[in-house]
Structure 1
Amino acid sequence: MESQKAMTFGGVLLMLLLTCATTTSQPTTAIDCATVTTLLSSCTTFITYGTPDPIPGSPCCDAMTSLNLAAYSTDSRRSICRCLMSLITTYNPNATAIATLPGFCGVTLGFTIDPNTDCNYISMSEN
């Protein structure tokens, strides 16, 4: 009887661990605009003046890499896109500079940073 209880408890514990592992490995919360803005703040000089060019390993490129890693789902890509489009509309930065950031940093966000980008059509299949 004791061994049967131990096996049942062990099975329940294993199921709980598997459930936790699968639910925590794929977060469902999209990135918020405050985070995107904070990350891009390290690129302010380049976005504003177009110089100096960011290079991989620089704080600006580290921020772009973080955005790229955060774009793990269609929803998160769309969220990042909407935040970037809002920043472009609000602050009217150097559109060419902001569009070239991913290329300078060697990342692909899965969409073009452009005022005409429709974030609703972004999916995970785009790279």
Structure 2
Amino acid sequence: MESCNRKACKAWLMGTLILFSSCATLVAGTIDCGIVTTLVSTCTNFITYGSPDPFPGSPCCDSILALDHMADSSTNNRQSVCRCLMSLISPYNPNSTAIATLPGLCGISLGFTIDPNTNCN
């Protein structure tokens, strides 16, 4: 099996994530929180330990970018992504600040603030 260079592998992964999330959105009509959880899980080290900081182009930021693309397709999708992220705040409560900082560290605006008091409607 031929190995791919890092840039090509990242591009393939990003495309696959976006395609997967788009298909899931079309089938379900709303975003599946399992997909959101899977994407955010690429940021587990940062969420749990506070380091290393994610940066644009890192796997963590690529996943946050995929969330942004999922959320951008409609108001319903943005609300679904918001609700899914809010549901992650509870299990990760001690690390909710880390989750909230992810979009900013990645240079991405999701269009809402990740905060326990955010109204996703």
Common topology (TM > 0.5) = yes
| Structure 1 position 90, deviation (Å) | 2.7
The equivalent residue for 1:104 is 105
Residue identity (%): 68
In the TM superposition, what is the alpha-carbon distance from 1:115 to its structure 2 partner?
0.8
Shift of 1:93: 4.3
**Would you say the 8 A contact 1:45–1:51 is kept in 2?**
yes
* Preserved contact between residue 47 and residue 93 of structure 1 (Cα < 8 Å): no
SS in 2 for 1:90: coil
Which has the larger displacement, 91-100 or 107-116?
91-100
Residue of structure 2 in register with 1:34 after alignment: 34
Other-structure match for 2:83: 82
Q: Aligned pair count?
A: 95
Amino acid at match of 2:92: Y
Name structure 1 gaps, 5 residues minimum: 1-26, 121-127
Amino acid at match of 2:114: I
The superposition leaves residues 59-115 of structure 1 with CA deviations (integer Å, 9 ceiling, x where unpaired) of 000000000000121110110111111111133241221111001111111100011
Q: How does 1:4-15 map to 2 (within 5 A)?
A: none
Distance 1:78 1:112 in 2: 12
In structure 2, the partner of 1:47 is 47
